A = this chain, B = another copy of it.
Amino acid sequence: MGADMEGGTSLNRPDFEQADAWIATAPSSQSESFLNAVLVIRRIVAEHHDRPSLVSRVACEVGAEIVENIRQSGEDLSSVELAERYETSRTPIREALLLLEKEGLVRIPQRRRPHVAVLDIAEAREIYRVRAVLFGAVASDAARLRTDADLESLREQLARLSAAHDAHDLSAYLWANVEFYNRLTMAAYNNTAKRILDSLLLRTLRLRRLSLTQPTRRERSMAHHVQLLAAIEEQDAPLADVLIRSNHLHALAALEQLYADGGVPLPMRSRRRRRQAAAAA
């Protein structure tokens, strides 16, 4: 999806330049990253909506916009605006927003406009703590239960991760990372845990790109993945557990740093962008 023309209305995704700031190297990978976001979100939020229903389409797209920081934290998500934009009634929009609320990307207060959920450092801390513990258990299980096919799948993904790392392609690295964790959780054969981890991942995905901006963080992350896969190959469950927990705590520390330095662009106090009287279809 390229430039959203129709220059006047504020309905289009704004400030692409801002998004640019996070894409370190490959400028053309913007839309590709967005597509990745849509795919991941579809996997997580619309897993049961097998067929491309209306609500799943809206949920995926809006969710991707949030994850890609096209919609800023706290920004209003008026159901009528979205209904106009997707040329549908408000009922499916409402349901899509409910799906996104379930994943923690959107908040829907009673009788108030839904808005993009804000992720303060306290909540991020909580999420990372939970993820660390759960991921530890999952990695531990994966180390014990993984099949050869799982192992092969993980190796393959690690190669992609490494390639993205070498190419200094931040966006590619990010999504390869997500997919690596996806395969890892699958290897533990615990769908309940996977669901929870996926949901928690989604919540912090907005910050992930920020955190990986730091080169030292990326180095550490890459090294970590190599170690982790080795531990799983050797079926060293305790080591896998400790490794992944440690990595999460480091990632959290990096995030705390970013928040402390004001590197997180989040404020935006819920003032609604004025709707222009938009023309026809």
Interface, chain A (partner B; CB < 8 A): 48-51, 53, 91, 94-95, 98, 102, 107-110, 123, 126-127, 129-130, 133-134, 136-137, 190-193, 196, 200
Contact = CB atoms under 8 A, between A and B. Distances in A.
A18 B39 CA distance: 46
A50 B108 CA distance: 12
Given A126-B193, A191-B126, A192-B123, A49 B134 contact: no
A58 to B, nearest CB: 15
B49 A129 contact: no
Nearest to A133: B137
A134 to B, nearest CB: 6
A156 B200 CA distance: 34
Contacts of A123: 191-192
Given A110-B49, A110-B53, A129 B98 contact: no
Given A51-B110, A102-B102, A190 B134 contact: no
A130 B126 contact: no
A127 B53 contact: no
Given A98-B95, A196-B196, A129 B190 contact: yes
A272 B50 CA distance: 24
A130 B48 contact: no
A45 B196 CA distance: 16
Nearest to A99: B98
A94 B91 CA distance: 11
Contact of A130 (B53, B98, B110, B196): B196
Contacts of A126: 190-193
Contacts of A95: 94-95, 98
B130 A50 contact: no
Nearest to A137: B133
Nearest to A127: B192
A155 B109 CA distance: 35
A130 B192 contact: yes
Contact of A110 (B50, B110, B196): B50
Contacts of A108: 48
20 contacts: A48-B108, A48-B110, A49-B110, A50-B110, A53-B110, A95-B95, A95-B98, A98-B98, A102-B102, A123-B192, A126-B190, A126-B191, A126-B192, A126-B193, A129-B137, A130-B137, A130-B190, A130-B196, A133-B133, A134-B134
Contacts of A110: 48-51, 53
A228 to B, nearest CB: 18
A91 B53 CA distance: 18
